[in-house]
Amino acid sequence: MALGSFCLVRQRKPVNRWARAGVPEFFPNWIVMLRLPGLPRRGESARAPICDLCLAVEGSPTVARPDCRCQRPAREFATELLKTSQHLWRQNRLQALRELRGGRRAAPALRRVQEVYMANLPERMKQSGRENWNALLSIVEQVTGLSPEAVLELPISCLSKQLALDWMRLRQAYNADLSKPEGERRSWGQLRAALKAGELPGLVIDVPLPGNYTINTMLGKAKSIAGKKSRSFYLNALELPDLSGFCSVSRLIARHGHEALERGVIAKIEEQAAGWRKTNVDLWIAHQLMSRMGLRPREVLAARRSWLEYEKEPRFRPAEAGAGWILVVRNRPEENFWQKARGKAITRRYVVDRDLAAVLLRRRRKPWLFAPDLAPTGRRNLIERTLSKELRRFLASRKGTNYELRKHYISTIYSKHGREAAAAQGGHATSETTEGYYATRLGVLPTVTGAELAG
Ligand SMILES: [Zn+2]
């Protein structure tokens, strides 16, 4: 006698969350009801959509048109499921059977979690959502040494407290190495080996080490994905394991406030950067937008031709500045661009100097002002890898690289024109943010290279 049986049931209600927002991928789809003696009945989605004709059948949801094509994949799925279940049942492997039947599903892979998270994130939060994922994936990548692709296949249960603590230790050791000459710094592989061998120093939690701020920021971003809000609003469709260990890891003590760059560093960078205009004009543009206007890297990436405006009578114009071209940074829903302080309608206006304007205007037919001919990854790499690496040579003792330019710019404004002006030019939500990070008055005052202040 056959052990157990199955029937197909028409799904009546859609589940309200989908991998792709608004795309009900399989609804209505066939549900497989499996019967095995001694086991509770529970429907399992066959992920096979029901055709219109089968849907139109009236009466019980188990009544189906005989042998319609749309049922074939569902039947195949059900047959397979029944076969595996019978096998486990005969071997008395009830635990495995329960897991198979969805009693305790395996944790979804990071790729799936990412898919669902990004799909359910409100449009205006997608940029920061991507940043959160970049942080999370880098953390796992740095601890495990796996390739980005392989990391995405890991189950989300890999986000443990231990993983967070290991990463913080690795990262502190990595930061400590930054003050050494390039040849003496350890690779991530060497750092991981040292951690495994128990040779890395313990986590330093009572001293505000340089780099702790970045550790906090990255971990904070990663934690926001595993956190309560994300789980109840964005990851609602997934059954997730307990991630509270990962989320409970505390922030490190970090020193706030930007310290002035050592004397002459900016001049050296400028000297180096001047050459890029000939050798790599996109690199030059990125550097100019960050050092003259303090743009964030992601603002450089998002900047389009539409951001350039011509003002016949600029309200502000340094004597040497060009023809009245202004770069306007504001929320642009039509381009799906949002500033970091996204709730606020902040508009920042920067004078574009003649030399920079000349280069940018040549790109008026291109989609982007920065690196319009590169693919998205190439554009990002040019800033996050190439420019960072170039700057790192001058900023060896610093945790940040690209951001140092922005900070330097804002600090300069702060020192010359005060807090409100710095907040406005930096695009901070409140001037408290500015106070928090730039309160250190600069001992070494740089000259402002290009843009001057409004009004
Ligand atoms: Zn059908």
Q: What is the pLDDT of residues 317-363, one digit of tens each?
A: 544 444 578 899 999 988 888 888 766 778 888 888 888 988 998 88
Pairwise CA distance, residues 379 & 115, whole Å: 23
Q: How far is the CA of 68 from the centre of ligand 1 (A)?
A: 5
Distance from the alpha carbon of residue 221 to the mean position of ligand 1, in angstroms: 45
For residue 7, the CA-to-ligand 1 centroid distance in Å is: 15
**pLDDT score of 453:** 41
Q: Is residue 131 scored above 60 in pLDDT?
A: yes
Residue % of the chain over a pLDDT of 70: 86
Q: Which of the listed ranges 24-28, 69-73, 253-257 does the model predict with the highest average pLDDT?
A: 69-73
CA of 103 to the centre of ligand 1 (A): 29
Instruction: Determine the distance separating the centroid of ligand 1 and the alpha carbon of 18, expressed in angstroms.
Output: 23
Lowest-confidence range among 173-187, 204-218, 422-436? 422-436
Residue pair 73/48 in contact by the 8 Å Cβ criterion? yes
Q: If you measure from the C-alpha of residue 122 to the centroid of ligand 1, how many angstroms do you get, rounded to a whole number? A: 35
What distance in angstroms lies between residue 30's CA and the mean position of ligand 1's atoms? 10
**Which pLDDT band holds residue 135 (cuts at 50, 70, 90)?**
very high
Of 209 and 341, the structure prediction assigns the larger pLDDT to 209
Per-residue pLDDT, 283: 95
Could you tell me the distance, in angstroms and rounded to a whole number, from the CA of residue 185 to the centre of ligand 1? 63
The pLDDT, as a whole number, for residue 3 is: 82
Report, as an integer, the average pLDDT of 156-169: 95
Considering only residues 21 and 330, tell me which one the structure prediction assigns the higher pLDDT: 330
The yes-or-no verdict on residue 1 having pLDDT over 80 is no
Question: Token pair of 182, please?
Answer: 């390039």
Any idea what DSSP says for residue 332? B
Backbone angles phi, psi at 349, to 5 degrees: -125, 130
Give me the pLDDT at residue 397, please: 65
The mean pLDDT of 271-290, rounded to a whole number, is 93
- Give residue 70 CA to ligand 1 midpoint distance, Å: 4
**Gap between the Cα atoms of 330 and 314, Å rounded:** 18
CA of 331 to the centre of ligand 1 (A): 48
CA of 97 relative to ligand 1 center, distance in Å: 30
Query: For residue 5, which phi and psi values (nearest 5 degrees)?
Result: -160, 175
Structure tokens at 104: 């305790």
Distance (angstroms) between ligand 1 centre and the Cα of 13 equals 18
**Residue 105 CA, ligand 1 centroid: distance in Å:** 29
Please, what is the average pLDDT of the chain? 83
* CA of 74 relative to ligand 1 center, distance in Å: 11
27-36, 125-134, 312-321: which is most confident: 125-134
Q: Comparing 333 with 219, which gets the higher pLDDT? A: 219
pLDDT at 449: 44
Report the SS3 class of residue 253: coil
Q: How far is the CA of 52 from the centre of ligand 1 (A)?
A: 7
To the nearest 10°, the Cα dihedral for 426, 428, 431, 434?
A: -60
Per the CB < 8 A criterion, the answer to whether 434 and 411 are in contact is no
Task: Report the separation in Å between the CA atom of 73 and the middle of ligand 1, taken as the mean of its atom positions.
Answer: 11
Q: Check residue 339 and give its pLDDT.
A: 85
State in Å: Cα 8 to ligand 1 middle: 12
The per-residue pLDDT for range 379-423, each reduced to its tens digit, is: 999 998 899 889 888 887 666 678 888 888 888 888 788 888 888
Q: How far is the CA of 15 from the centre of ligand 1 (A)?
A: 21
Distance 26 CA to ligand 1 centre (A): 14
Q: What is the Å distance from ligand 1's center to 87 Cα?
A: 30
Question: 407 C-alpha to center of ligand 1: Å?
Answer: 62
Q: Output the CA 71–ligand 1 centroid distance in Å.
A: 6
Read off the pLDDT band of 22 (50, 70, 90): low
Q: How many whole angstroms from 12 Cα to the centroid of ligand 1? A: 15
Cα 55 to ligand 1 centroid, rounded to whole Å: 7
Q: What percent of the chain has pLDDT over 90?
A: 33
CA–centroid distance, 67 to ligand 1, in Å, is 8
Q: Which domains does the chain have, with CATH numbers?
A: 5-100 (no CATH), 110-247 (no CATH), 265-438 (1.10.443)
Task: For Cα atoms 253, 256, 260, give the angle at the middle one, nearest 5 degrees.
Answer: 135
The CA 54 to ligand 1 mean position distance, Å, reads 4
Residue 311 CA to residue 351 CA, distance in Å, equals 10
**C-alpha 250 to ligand 1 mean position (Å):** 54
Contact 171, 200 (CB under 8 A): no
Query: From ligand 1's centre to the CA of 76, what distance in Å?
Result: 15
Q: Kindly give the distance from the C-alpha atom of residue 65 to the centroid of ligand 1, in angstroms, as a whole number.
A: 7
Alpha helix ranges (H) inside 178-227: 188-196, 212-226
pLDDT band at residue 444, thresholds of 50, 70 and 90? very low
Centre of ligand 1 to C-alpha 60, Å, is: 15
Ranges 8-12, 16-20, 71-75, 180-184: which has the least confidence: 16-20
Q: What is the pLDDT of residue 319?
A: 45
What is the model's pLDDT at position 323? Answer: 54
Per-residue pLDDT at 324: 79
